[in-house]
Amino acid sequence: MKKGKIEMIYEMLNDPLVQEVLFNIFEGNEKGFEVIDVLLEKGETTEEEIAKELGVKLNVVRKLLYKLYDARLVDYKRWKDEETNWYSYTWLPTLEKLPYVVKKKINELIKDLEKKLEFEKNNMFFFCPNCNVRFTFEEAMDYNFECPACGNMLQEFDNRELIRDLEEQIKFLKNELKNNPFLNLK
């Protein structure tokens, strides 16, 4: 990768929204960011070299590389060692695709939030104050408005705050998609 591209990718990696999406891709494993750093530094390397440089178990590096591969942020070349008959992999970053990956993930999140919002707006809810469990109107009717766990009477649940929170999250994410400089690269 060209020097200018790498600098732009490092800037992108410092963006909170981009970091959040990557953190989700790594399923909470912060070592994923270190794997990206090694890939950017070396350009092309083996999983063994990454594991050695980071002092991390090989299977941890492999899992993170596969997650990055599934997100289309790395690619690999496979070759066979003629002596051992084993396959080896050389990994290389394709992080120029990062804006598209982040956009896709954010759009998926917006879609999920919009479904939840629709559900909240189109249903009436009840809850048990003892067990702190929420039920739809239909579920509450099936239980004769009594909590199935403790027998307490169910109370109506006001979900206006939940609706407001979902609307704010959707608005924020749509605004980020529109105005985030890293997501609007040509």
Q: Please tell me the predicted confidence (pLDDT) of residue 86.
A: 87
* Nearest Cα to Cα of residue 97 among 44, 49, 173, 36: 36
CATH-assigned architecture of domain 3-93: Orthogonal Bundle (1.10)
Phi–psi pair at 142, nearest 5 degrees: -60, -30
Any idea where the domains of the chain sit in the sequence?
Answer: 3-93, 100-179
At what angle are helices 47-54 and 58-70 packed, to 10 degrees?
120
* Count of Cβ atoms closer than 10 Å to residue 20 Cβ: 14
Q: Please tell me the predicted confidence (pLDDT) of residue 91.
A: 95
* Nearest Cα to Cα of residue 44 among 79, 94, 95, 92: 92
Residue identified by tokens 């997501």 is 183
Encode the chain (186 residues) as per-residue pLDDT tens digits: 455 777 888 888 998 889 999 999 999 899 999 999 999 999 899 999 999 999 999 999 999 999 999 999 999 999 888 888 888 889 999 988 999 999 999 999 999 999 999 999 999 999 999 999 999 999 999 999 999 999 999 999 999 999 999 999 999 999 998 988 877 754
For residues 15 and 63, give the distance between their C-alpha atoms in angstroms, rounded to a whole number. 24
In sign, the C-alpha dihedral spanning 32, 33, 37, 43 is: positive
Whether the Cβ atoms of residue 36 and residue 18 lie closer than 8 Å to each other: no
Q: Please tell me the predicted confidence (pLDDT) of residue 185.
A: 57
Coil, helix or strand at residue 127? strand
